[in-house]
Structure 1
């Protein structure tokens, strides 16, 4: 997940070869958002077609940049955690570290 987040934060579209666990679902979501291409196999010709497509269609980069911009504006996970804790009446953000 960190690679997906980092690529999107940088506005870089992805060609994804999912291998295990949640990677296939994440790859499909990135593809649905138009910020990448999910490959169903790792054959060289499949990868080459994906690279050519991504380089020839500007919307992949535009969509990745737009998503990255949204992510950058949304703040950090720590900020989200503090916000959630404050909404349930816990002002001390170090509370979760003590549990």
Structure 2
């Protein structure tokens, strides 16, 4: 589906050169403790160990059987992981975290 929007050259350049923020609801989870990184490492499609402390990683949250539940952003600060995902994924994600 094409979207036809008239933009001035100056506004188009600002969009190309800058950041665009769109407010959206999110489900936020905080997982912490000495085993948090290794626990979530097996449930996310992207590596949480290699990027190290103070990293931001994007990946898909998986069930223990490898089924995709939701995509998520994960912020790592030491042994504290903060996950942000779509609100409709909060129930299935919580069920996975309770089983793990």
Give the TM-score band, short-chain normalised: under 0.3
* TM-score under structure 1 length normalisation: 0.24
Bigger share in strand: 2
